[in-house]
């Protein structure tokens, strides 16, 4: 069974591999008449682009997006929008060892177990190059939800968290970590650089906040906004956990502590807290939608690790090639894209059922 499509009404399919000539996405179900051109999508790809600092992979990809279909006279036509990004900086020779043996923690063994054959160059389809395609699709999704503002940032690296008291949104694009706390960003330079120099890697937590989501998006039971968001985030490479609102911390609160008290307001209810992360009963409350995503440390590391060859022989493998010492950093634009894609889908689902 193959599964490369996400969404119900606002649907996208991604295609392509790390070392193929190009990769891309086909967005279907986009409302017609939205003003669009490449320059509205490119900034999100630029944020995800590799090789921008010594704290991310040194693979150099311009990640220029081209719109091939679904647009006429600068507007979406309602037909499939095909987006293409060329791969220009592949180095397949770096992967000769990975062809013979499995990287522990990567998808090499499981792809072989499933398909009996795999494109080992850069991890093939399991490479996070694929996330460039969804970031492009997310750029289109944002056009369908102009009422929503989405902001993601790294809140923790290598177990070192930001101090919420230092939160400054202007800092997020001012350092190489998408970090809203200038002091934490300084500390992370050493944490990530030490890991890189040691041939190791570190994990990270990415937090994403969507404001402007009106009350009512989402659906009960099997298409809850929170279950769709959790599924969307878990499709991102290297994610190992998703929390909505207070997430696991809510399990340690009392009912009084966890309540989001409501008061009459001028434009709908006013809430004095948001432990629920803007979602109750699978439906948005009108408060900011808050999601946190845990990224594991990069599995391709320079430290030799025990593994087996394709023939089942014991061996050791260290991964050459260019790898992110902390994949969560470049995960930030990807998390934002998945938030946009889920919200666009739910906006259209809500409109389809209620007419609003």
Check residue 298 for interaction with ligand FMN (CB under 6 A). yes
Check residue 107 for interaction with ligand FMN (CB under 6 A). yes
Check residue 299 for interaction with ligand FMN (CB under 6 A). yes
The rounded distance, in Å, linking the Cα atoms of 24 and 37 is 16
Give the count of residues interacting with ligand FMN (CB under 6 A).
20
Interacting stretch for ligand FMN, rule CB under 6 A, among 150-158, 170-178, 217-225, 295-303? Answer: 295-303
Binding mask 4-43 for ligand FMN (x = CB under 6 A): ----------------------------------------
Check residue 307 for interaction with ligand FMN (CB under 6 A). no
To 10 degrees, what angle do helices 130-144 and 327-354 make? 40
CA-wise closest residue to 178 among 55, 42, 277: 55
CB of 215 to ligand FMN, least distance (A): 32
Other Cβ atoms less than 10 A from the Cβ of 170: the count is 8
The rounded distance, in Å, linking the Cα atoms of 273 and 242 is 20
Q: Contact 202/177 with Cβ under 8 angstroms?
A: no
CA-wise closest residue to 13 among 106, 128, 136, 143: 136
Q: Does residue 262 come out as left (phi exceeding 0), alpha (psi in the -120 to 50 range) or beta?
A: beta
What part of residues 180-239 is at the interface with ligand FMN (CB under 6 A)?
236-238
Instruction: Using the minimum distance from each CB to ligand FMN, give the nearer residue, 128 or 154.
Output: 128
Check residue 87 for interaction with ligand FMN (CB under 6 A). no
Instruction: Using the minimum distance from each CB to ligand FMN, give the nearer residue, 12 or 271.
Output: 12
Other Cβ atoms less than 10 A from the Cβ of 304: the count is 12
Check residue 157 for interaction with ligand FMN (CB under 6 A). no
Check residue 330 for interaction with ligand FMN (CB under 6 A). yes
Instruction: Sheet containing 11-16: give its strands across.
Output: 5-6, 11-16, 22-28, 81-86, 65-67
What part of residues 111-130 is at the interface with ligand FMN (CB under 6 A)?
123, 126-128
Q: Which residues bind ligand FMN (CB under 6 A)?
A: 57, 106-107, 123, 126-128, 131, 236-238, 298-300, 323-324, 327, 330-331, 334
């Amino acid at each position: 069974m193959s599964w490369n499509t996400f969404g119900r009404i606002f649907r996208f399919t991604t295609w392509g591999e790390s070392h193929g000539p190009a990769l891309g996405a086909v967005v279907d179900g986009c409302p017609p008449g939205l003003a669009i051109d490449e320059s509205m999508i490119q900034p999100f790809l630029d944020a995800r682009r590799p090789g921008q600092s010594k704290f991310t992979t040194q693979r150099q990809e311009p990640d220029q997006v081209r719109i091939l279909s679904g647009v006429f006279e600068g507007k979406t036509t309602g037909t499939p929008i095909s987006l293409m990004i060329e791969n220009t900086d592949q180095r397949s020779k770096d992967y000769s060892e990975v062809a013979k043996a499995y990287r522990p923690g990567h998808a090499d063994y499981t792809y072989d177990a499933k398909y009996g054959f795999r494109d080992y160059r850069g991890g093939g389809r399991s490479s996070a190059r694929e996330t460039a395609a969804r970031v492009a699709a997310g750029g289109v999704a944002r056009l369908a939800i102009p009422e929503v503002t989405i902001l993601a940032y790294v809140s923790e690296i290598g177990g070192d968290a930001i101090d919420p008291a230092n939160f400054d949104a202007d800092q997020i694009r001012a350092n190489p970590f998408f970090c809203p706390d200038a002091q934490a960003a300084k500390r992370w330079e050493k944490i990530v650089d030490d890991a890189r120099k040691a041939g190791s890697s570190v994990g990270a937590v990415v937090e994403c906040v969507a404001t402007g989501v009106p009350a009512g998006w989402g659906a009960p039971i099997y298409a809850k906004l929170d279950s769709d968001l959790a599924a969307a985030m878990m499709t991102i490479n290297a994610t190992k956990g998703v929390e909505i609102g207070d997430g696991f911390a809510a399990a340690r609160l009392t009912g009084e502590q966890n309540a989001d008290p409501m008061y009459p307001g001028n434009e709908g209810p006013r809430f004095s807290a948001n432990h629920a992360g803007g979602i109750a009963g699978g439906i948005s409350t009108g408060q900011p939608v808050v999601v946190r995503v845990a990224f594991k440390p990069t599995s391709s590391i320079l430290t030799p690790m025990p593994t087996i060859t394709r023939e089942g022989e014991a061996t050791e493998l260290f991964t050459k090639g260019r790898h992110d010492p902390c994949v969560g950093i470049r995960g930030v634009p990807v998390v934002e894209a998945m938030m946009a894609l889920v919200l666009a889908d739910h906006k259209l689902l809500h409109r389809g059922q209620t007419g609003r």
